Amino acid sequence: MDPNQRIARISAHLNPPNLDDQMVDGSGVNRVGCRAKGGSPGFKVAILGAAGGIGQPLAMLMKMNPLVSVLHLYDVANAPGVTADISHMDTSAIVRGFLGQSQLEEALTGMDLVVIPAGVPRKPGMTRDDLFNINAGIVRTLSEAIAKCCPKAVVNIISNPVNSTVPIAAEVFKKAGTFDPKKLMGVTMLDVVRANTFVAEVMSLDPREVDVPVVGGHAGVTILPLLSQVKPPCSFTQKEIEYLTGRIQNGGTEVVEAKAGAGSATLSMAYAAVKFADACLRGLRGDANIVECAFVASHVTELPFFASKVRLGRCGIDEVYGLGPLNEYERMGLEMAKKELSGSIEKGITFVKK
């Protein structure tokens, strides 16, 4: 291969060819599709909002995942820099960057999994509802592009308020005639990750060996850890139950306040998002018994969306599990969660329909 061809291959992921207007650089070399030698077959993943506080560590961790063959990084600013940086990592996934609305459709075409951390983060004193007006519009726009360019992709929504943004995406997909409830998931994995960590601290266990089902939604009292169903089985005092439930529900606020205006839970969120995305990819690959919690279209309660355990497979969600036996404390928590969740879901649906 002559030097010009080598240069073209190396540069291709930094400036992907525009489908309408093939770029030619100053040396007259066409930028061609780039694929690392020995790159393993895998899945094509897009991150929308890849240059943000969650997006950057999320992109880095996804580049490390051997199930990812192509990684598209999209944002409205700074995407080329993040792409250049992450593309230097010596893992097999090919990284391509996409900047601004004009490149959104190109970023999405042919994707198997789309992860959306796009939007503004929480700041001290803000509730997730304070984020709604900005992030709702962002999620609607991105969902419209997904419906057009990769309607069969699995979609993981991180953008808050998840209790409203997942219904927004669902309504957009319904309008486009592409809605598949098996493919759309709100990422609540951070609540599970926190629950596993906090329970492990109280019980002096390794958090990697703890599994706490967290159901309901992804904000405040809608986050309901089912401590009666913890694995391995644990016995808690009422005081421990109230402490753990409160800390799990307010974990996001704990980080926002600790960062004192410098951000929200970005690193642990990126970790949790990659953990969930990996579970989705293993399901798509055909691995058996991949079970995680997520906020999905559901018949578990009377609400149209609810977070519970789901089994992931080749089509996205293979099965949505019920709640199992609840104790009195959890039944009371469930009623509070549903009341709060109902309004958030309706707010998202109304946003698209208005």
Q: Cβ(343)–Cβ(216) under 8 Å?
A: no
The residue among 43, 115, 146 whose CA lies nearest residue 269 is: 115
Is the pLDDT higher at 10 or at 328? 328
Q: How many CA atoms lie within 13 A of 92 on its CB side?
A: 13
Of 24-38, 166-180, 284-298, 314-328, the poorest mean pLDDT is in 24-38
Q: Which two tokens stand for residue 49?
A: 């909002």
pLDDT digits (tens, 9 = 90+) for 216-232: 999 999 999 999 999 99
- Based on the residue annotation, tell me whether 218 is a catalytic residue of this protein: yes
Query: What's at 127, amino acid-wise?
Result: T
pLDDT digits (tens, 9 = 90+) for 182-202: 999 999 999 999 999 999 999
Percent of the chain at pLDDT above 90?
A: 82
Separation of alpha carbons 243 and 255, rounded Å: 17
The residue among 251, 244, 256 whose CA lies nearest residue 130 is: 256
Residue 96: predicted pLDDT:
98
Cis peptide before 17 (omega within 30 of 0): no
Residue 35: predicted pLDDT:
43
Query: What's at 111, amino acid-wise?
Result: M
Residue 263: predicted pLDDT:
86
Helix/strand/coil (H, E, C) string of 266-282? Answer: CHHHHHHHHHHHHHHHH
Residue 7: predicted pLDDT:
56
Residue 156: predicted pLDDT:
98
**pLDDT exceeds cutoff 80 at 321:** yes
| pLDDT band, very low/low/confident/very high, at 268 (cuts 50, 70, 90) | very high
246-275 average pLDDT score = 95
Most distant pair of Cα atoms in the chain: their distance: 72
| pLDDT band, very low/low/confident/very high, at 331 (cuts 50, 70, 90) | very high
- The residue from 72, 88, 218, 299 that is catalytic is 218
Buried b (16+ CB within 10 A) or exposed e, 166-180: bbbbbbbbeeeebbb
Residue 3: predicted pLDDT:
60
Residue 8: predicted pLDDT:
54
- Parallel, antiparallel or unpaired: strands 184-186 and 94-99: unpaired
- Average pLDDT value over all residues in the chain: 90
| pLDDT band, very low/low/confident/very high, at 34 (cuts 50, 70, 90) | very low
234-256 average pLDDT score = 96
Percent of the chain at pLDDT above 70?
A: 88
